[in-house]
Chain A
Amino acid sequence: MMIPSKKVQRCLLAVLFTTLATGAHSAAAHELRLAMQSDITGLDPHDTTDNLSYSVQSAVYERLFQFDRQMKLVPALATGYRANDNATEFVIDLRDNVRFSDGAPFNAAAAKTNLDRLADQGMGLKRNNMFSMIDHTEIINEHRIKIVLKQPFGAMINTLAHPSAVMISPQALKKYSNENDLRVHPVGTGPFIFTGWASGRSVSFVKNPNYWEKGWPRVDKVTFYPTPESATRVARLRAGEVDAVMPLDAQLTKAIGRDTHLKVVHDASVLQHYIVINNLKPALKDVRVRRALNYAMDRNIWLRAVHGNMGTVASAPMANAIPFYQAQAPYAHDPHKARELLKEAGYPDGLSLNMWIANDTSSILASQLIKQQLAAAGVRLQVVPMDSATRTGMIYNVSDPNAARYDLVLRGWSPSTGDADWALRPLFTTGAWVPKLDNESYYSNPQVDDAIQGALGSADADKRGAQYARAQQLIWKDAPVIFLGNPDNLTALSRNLDGVYMLPDTTFAFNHAHFVSDNVQQ
């Protein structure tokens, strides 16, 4: 530990000298370096689907609305909005005095260009589908725009807060009209300006000197290093090569905890872990069997063993950070009750099921625990690990739902619009059966469908809340999946770094990153 502490002393001296040399109040030059688990796929958020790329893109690009650390909706490039009663028209006020880093003004025309690009289903961008409800947009004045929808859509503002709904400079859109050029030349209003992307090596940005939010950013450069191996990510942090790693494996938190120069930051997540139950399998059609599986699981042990006891266990079909969440009566761990329910359903000797999982460390760890717990209730589990591309293919390329070969699938779902609609509709409505959306359970309850659809038809929070409360209650009772919970998102940082954290949707934020030199202790 001698060497790192000397290093810190040297840094402090360097900071001191620069401060003395350049005057008392000017900050020292700082570079923020982050290690992340893979490379980005591109730099056009309209044509991106992975959270890691969205996170890196947020250096350059901003949205009209965004989420704060608690997944609350906050205005960003917008300042406010008004909706009509049946949620078909949204008038949005835009922030004044904002410019793109190429000098183009951010105004209603720029917003219109971007929203039209997202809504244009002929563009062939990966995120067009998400904005297909937009009929057209109108410029009301320089700083006000109106979005008119084809049908009521109460979750519109949340959809505008999705990390793909960013504002790209209209000049850049014109200059790089070919998507292959735009995806490597991002120009936005964000706190940083893109400088380069060396595939597999690094993505780098410098400070945007004309950023609209006064006093930010407080680092001069940001560089991201793809580092696939999680132990190597932590080694990089310990060696001082990077200032932050994301994400951090729960298994590696101990290694961080021993190092006095580092800290672990954990934040609540909306990523819901659960086990799909194939509701079309003869045995699993019976709600008693599905409830038995839920009673068989000890969620607290799962959270402790697999996720370092950081997070919350499931108390509803969606995370408690999602608006309209309503706690349900818990499925307390009760293997005896599970056996009774199975007996009642006609399985006195228990039953044998298969479970498909991803072949990563935490899924394998979780599956061992699940197998053990279900065994205590008389369920013999055969675990089938496969790589994610294979698994996705085998689940989604099934034309006849009855031909699906899985009984259970261990997986997670992160509603990236932070809204109850996207937390429930893709997983639990009849219209969302795979391959249409992500209802891999083939669960169908017309009352649930009605409630979720009904909630979309209004922009009124009370009306929407009542519908979602009903939907959650019904889903919880029907137990179409084994509910698990929401483990925290983990990051590890240098002790003197603040303002870098993971948002509940598993993207990460660094726009308010700053080094607190005074806090460095020996």
Chain B
Amino acid sequence: MLSYALRRLLGIIPVLIVVSLLVFAFVKLMPGDPARIYAGPDASLEAVDAARHQLGLDQPLTIQYLQWVGNFLTGDLGIAYRNRQPVADAIGESFFPTLWLSLAAFAWSSVAGIAIGVFAARRRGRWQDYTAMSIAVCGISMPSFWLGLLLIQYVAVPFGLFATSGYAKPLDIVLPAITLGSTVAAVMARYTRSAYLEATHEDYVRTARAKGLTNRMVVWKHTFRNALIPVLTMLGLQFGFLLSGSIVIESVFSWPGLGWLLIESIKTQDQPVIQALVMLFVTMFLVINLVVDLLYGFIDPSARRD
């Protein structure tokens, strides 16, 4: 198990190297001139050139890349063009708002999604199933920014219990978390339902019934536990999306997290911040996938063997 974990961990390194090249190339391929944006709207040509030199953008791309990677490895993520704040500080400040929001959204949506999925699967073909799945389809199809604006307009503004945006008190996380989690809950409900239905057709379920186990044992120990394996993979992926993908929700709710930071940085072509953020998102995905793979071992003993 330990050697497996170590091997997987080492496997991340080449992926990160390739990703760093891609990220760097994409950022450099973006049309636009960060030096001009840095120097300002009515800066002279000389001022733009001075900015280009100051930012090191006049150096060959290979040198720029190697410098970036070298600094990155020593923990120096550079200075943001937009406000001259160290990138590490900017990301550090934005990380926790996003983490809390993602955890809150993840907590309610995974529990609700799995519960609804199992419920619908056990009443397959009946009106409860159709109702639950119709709601889930609505949840997937509804643009989340629209749900966010509706919640602000009809919950936050008239009742005053939750803030319309930002966070001043703990309750303020409720509306953005509902908005952010709605899609995940819907996806999980549909996914759990089909995974559960698939498991019910397996031989071991039939065997469990044949040997006279109680319905409860069959449902929870045999069917649900086996259905959980694909569900867990999906959950991991969804959490990755929550951490990196709340850009729209963070804008709607003025939530000062990573999504907000990414948008501000793209608007001003703040290359050091964009590069660091994308690297962070990729690393988070890789780590989450690794954690999910290791969790398989606990649910499915056969996965522990290799």
Contact = CB atoms under 8 A, between A and B. Distances in A.
Is B one of A's binding partners?
yes
Contacts of A239: 156-157, 160, 163-164
Contacts of A397: 32-33, 36
Contact of A38 (B30, B32, B93, B264): B264
A392 B42 contact: no
B202 to A, nearest CB: 48
Interface residues of B, number: 51
A41 B36 contact: no
B85 A389 contact: no
A393 B93 contact: no
A435 B253 CA distance: 38
Given A129-B46, A199-B90, A240-B160, A396 B165 contact: no
Interface string A192-209: 000000111110000000
Interface string B66-84: 0000000000000000111
Contacts of B54: 124
Nearest to B48: A435
A236 B165 contact: yes
A229 interface: yes
Given A179-B84, A235-B157, A393 B252 contact: no
Contact of B252 (A39, A41, A179, A232): A232
B160 A3 contact: yes
A389 B268 contact: yes
Contacts of B159: 3
Contacts of B134: none
B83 A231 contact: no
A200 B84 CA distance: 14
A389 B267 contact: yes
Nearest to B39: A126
B42 A393 contact: no
A425 B287 CA distance: 56
A183 interface: yes
B44 A129 contact: yes
A192 B32 CA distance: 38
Contacts of B251: 228-229
Query: Is chain B's binding surface mostly helix, strand, loop or mixed?
Result: helix
B186 interface: no
Interface in A210-241: 225-229, 231-232, 235-236, 238-241
A241 B90 CA distance: 26
A241 B164 contact: yes
B280 interface: no
Interface string A381-396: 0000001111111101
Contact of A124 (B45, B50, B264): B50
A438 interface: yes
Contacts of B45: 435-436
B40 A49 contact: yes
A333 to B, nearest CB: 31
Contact of B82 (A41, A393, A438): A41
Contact of A229 (B38, B39, B254): B254
Interface in B108-163: 149, 152-153, 156-160, 163
A240 B168 CA distance: 14
Contacts of A235: 152-153, 156-157, 164-165
Looking at A7, A39, A394, A437, which has the most chain B CB atoms within 10 Å of its CB? A39
A180 interface: yes
A200 B254 CA distance: 8
B209 to A, nearest CB: 54
Given A49-B40, A396-B33, A232 B165 contact: yes
Interface in B260-290: 260-261, 263-264, 266-269
Nearest to A47: B84
Interface string B245-258: 00000011110100
Nearest to A127: B40
Contacts of B32: 389-394, 397
Contacts of A238: 157
A39 B159 CA distance: 28
A426 interface: yes
Nearest to A415: B42
A126 B32 CA distance: 19
B57 interface: no
Interface in A458-503: none
19 contacts: A39-B83, A49-B43, A126-B40, A129-B43, A129-B46, A130-B42, A183-B84, A200-B256, A225-B254, A231-B149, A232-B152, A235-B152, A235-B156, A239-B160, A241-B165, A390-B31, A390-B32, A392-B33, A393-B36
Interface of B: 30-33, 36-48, 50, 54, 82-85, 90, 93-94, 149, 152-153, 156-160, 163-166, 251-254, 256, 260-261, 263-264, 266-269
Given A236-B165, A389-B30, 19 more contacts: A38-B264, A42-B83, A49-B43, A126-B39, A128-B47, A180-B84, A199-B94, A200-B256, A200-B261, A200-B264, A201-B256, A229-B165, A235-B153, A238-B157, A241-B165, A388-B267, A389-B267, A397-B32, A426-B42
Closest 3 CB pairs of A and B: A393-B32, A200-B256, A49-B40
